[in-house]
Amino acid sequence: MAGNANYCTWNHHHGIKDDGDFGITYTEGNTKATQSHNGISTTGTMAVNSGKFYWEIRYAASADFSDGHLLAGWQSLANGVNYAYTVQQPGSGAGAPDRGVWGSHLINYKGGGTAAFGGGYLSAGNDVNNDTYSGAFNLGLRVGEASTLQFAGDFDNNDLYFGVNNTWYDLAAGTNSTSNTDITQVTGWPIEAAWRGNFWTPACWFSGAASGTVSIINCGQDSTFAGLLTATSNADANGFGEFVYSPPSGYLALCSGNLPIDSDIDSGGDDGDTEHPAKQFNTVLYTGNAGTNAITGVGFQPDMVWIKKRNASTNGTIVDSVRGTNKLLFSSVTDAEVTSANLTAFGSDGFTVDDTSGNLANFNTNTHTYVAWCWKAGGSASSNSEGSTTANVSANTKGGFSIISYTGTGNAATLGHGLEAAPEFVMVKRRSGAAQRWVVYHKSIGAGNYLTLQGNDALAASSGMFNDTDPTSTVISIGNESNVSTNTLTYVAYAWCNVTGQQRFGSYEGNADVNGPFVYLGFRPRMVCIKAIDSTQAWIVCDTARETFNPIGEKVLQWNTDDAEYDPSGFNFDVTSSGFKIRKSDTNINAAQTYVYMAWGDVPFKYNNTF
């Protein structure tokens, strides 16, 4: 067995029935999944959205599953993964691709007594083989004849490939499909545009098969498939893995050593400490003293600090280096900017708070407890004229965060953000004049919709907020609404983009069950914020500074209220080395509706121990 890396296995967080019992038993280090329940699935522990990767799988049936399907392939994790009963064939039920739950490209093996399996390709609900044995991919696989199935994904060029016993099938050719032992001689099945850039992971689904049917995965850790075959030594180009067949040229084992990570944010990178995710974002706790209070332990000089009192009701307060440490905005109200000298300085390892003005409760009441969420931007702001309106911008291109200060014109405009990628999450607040709402853009809801930070409202439609135009790699678009562009009045925008191994902004579908979705992030989250977009629910915030063991959710704060920390009985989720797993059905995080999330991490999955 290969021992030179941590390899992808089946994810034990999946394979759970609707009654809460496990319908899959995992053995052989979670590489072997044995079914005990019909219509149940599992997925891999690792996922990728760039690069080229290869893995193998073998099925073994304990009986004739004449009415069953065995499906395997790459599954998209675009909107989180629900427990097995909501994971269905594409185009049917709660797992339809429009909800992103099962939106994958899978090979379908249809039973039929002792007849051959028909290998049908499933895409967007269409089985090109039509559940017959005379269609495009009549592979000649029979019950009891286990074969090695091969899957390859090119996520840079958005193509998926499928092979059996070292014969690659031309999926894109349809009924005129051809096969070849050289993957470069066949055409991959293109990933549809809507799914590109999402994480993809190995998956298998047992449907109608007899109890005891087994699926064994090999991502390079065991070419014998738990003793079924003779060991081989076919490694990838980086020397990782043992496969039955040699991986196609350029395709790598799905293992920790090969996982892609941002070249700028890499805790194992050659630029040392400055590349670590914890040097871009961190959460610290402190106790007020009603005097000068130097808060350290942040690990870097922050450019934005968001402080929330934990033990009593007080508005969350945002201070940044662009507006100045004496300018306060409150996340839970519409108030304009307030001038106060409570936060007196940003230091190399934190910040200093004082008792010199009337906002003492927000920062430094004696004996009261606080949490501070801290981000690094680019230090002193500079003029940016990439948009139609010149802005003052402080941008951390590596960490994917920028602060943008601008003056409204009363018209639609564009603003340079200083990042090298399109922002996925943007908060805008008018600083001067009468009170105005916080307006929030999130890529998962699109630029024709918006959320309000100080309220619990569901998403609302408006072309006047973000001008129906998603951000680009250079600019953010704003409309002519007073919330974002009143002539001569001042505004601030905070913008974040996805950074592999550091931060991610996406959505998932709730299932209203104690066994909720698993959301793959590619890192261990330090802080997670969740907001329902279909109903009026709070902006829920949890972090691993305040809660140090699973499940978390006993010390919840809300961005949109002045409420103190509280413990809702129906709210729990697990933080894992690669994401988070919902464990309760509280409507704030897991009703049968859509949720957006904002997550910042401290350790990329590439360097973490799996749990």
* Mean pLDDT value of segment 338-343: 86
What per-residue confidence (pLDDT) applies to 473? 97
Mean model confidence pLDDT for the chain: 82
Q: What is the pLDDT of residues 554-579, one digit of tens each?
A: 999 999 999 999 998 878 899 988 89
* Mean pLDDT value of segment 480-489: 96
Q: Which of 470, 437, 6 is nearest to 253 (CA)?
A: 6
- What does each C-alpha distance from 300 to 14, 502, 557 come to in angstroms? 38, 16, 24
User: Which two three-digit tokens encode residue 297?
Assistant: 């332990």
Task: Report which DSSP code applies to 610.
Answer: P
* Cα separation, 193 vs 182, whole angstroms: 26
* Cα separation, 43 vs 272, whole angstroms: 34
Highest mean pLDDT, choosing among 31-35, 325-329, 355-359: 325-329
Is it the case that residue 10 has pLDDT exceeding 80?
Answer: yes
What per-residue confidence (pLDDT) applies to 147? 75
Q: What is the pLDDT of residues 152-209, one digit of tens each?
A: 999 999 888 888 888 887 766 655 566 788 898 888 877 767 677 788 888 887 766 5
Q: How confident is the model at residue 98 (pLDDT cuts 50, 70, 90)?
A: very low
Q: What is the pLDDT of residues 433-461, one digit of tens each?
A: 999 999 999 999 999 999 999 999 999 99
Q: Which residue has the higher pLDDT, 463 or 121?
A: 463
Q: What is the pLDDT of residues 386-411, one digit of tens each?
A: 999 999 999 999 999 999 999 999 99
* Cα separation, 394 vs 323, whole angstroms: 11
Q: Which amino acid is at 353?
A: V
Bin 204: left if φ > 0, else alpha if -120 < ψ < 50, else beta. beta
* Cα separation, 537 vs 285, whole angstroms: 26
* Cα separation, 499 vs 50, whole angstroms: 13
For the chain, the structural domain boundaries read 24-258, 281-375, 382-496, 503-607
* Mean pLDDT value of segment 483-496: 97
Q: How confident is the model at residue 113 (pLDDT cuts 50, 70, 90)?
A: very low
> What pTM did the predictor assign?
0.87
* Cα separation, 606 vs 266, whole angstroms: 9
CATH number of 24-258: 2.60.120.920
What per-residue confidence (pLDDT) applies to 610? 55
Give just the sign of the alpha carbon dihedral 350, 526, 368, 375. positive
Say how many C-beta atoms besides its own lie within 10 A of residue 412's C-beta.
20
Pick from 13-22, 278-287, 372-381: least confident:
13-22
Is it the case that residue 112 has pLDDT exceeding 60?
Answer: no
* Mean pLDDT value of segment 317-339: 95
Q: How far apart are the first and last CA of the chain?
A: 21
Q: Is 467 helix (H, G, I), strand (E, B) or coil?
A: coil
* Mean pLDDT value of segment 575-586: 89
Containing H/E element for 283? strand 281-287
Q: What percent of the chain has pLDDT over 70?
A: 80
Q: Which of 46, 577, 541, 604 is nearest to 279 (CA)?
A: 604
Q: Is 246 helix (H, G, I), strand (E, B) or coil?
A: coil
Residues 6+ apart with CB under 8 A from 509: 79, 80, 82, 86, 94, 99, 100, 101, 517, 592, 593, 594, 595
User: Which two three-digit tokens encode residue 247?
Assistant: 């991986």
* Mean pLDDT value of segment 480-500: 96
Contact 317, 326 (CB under 8 A): no
Contact 34, 21 (CB under 8 A): no
3-class secondary structure for 135-180? CCCCCCEECCCCCEEEEEEECCCCEEEEEECCEEECHHHHHHCCEE
What per-residue confidence (pLDDT) applies to 455? 93
* Cα separation, 333 vs 276, whole angstroms: 34
Pick from 198-202, 531-535, 545-549: least confident:
198-202
Say how many C-beta atoms besides its own lie within 10 A of residue 227's C-beta.
10
* Mean pLDDT value of segment 339-368: 87
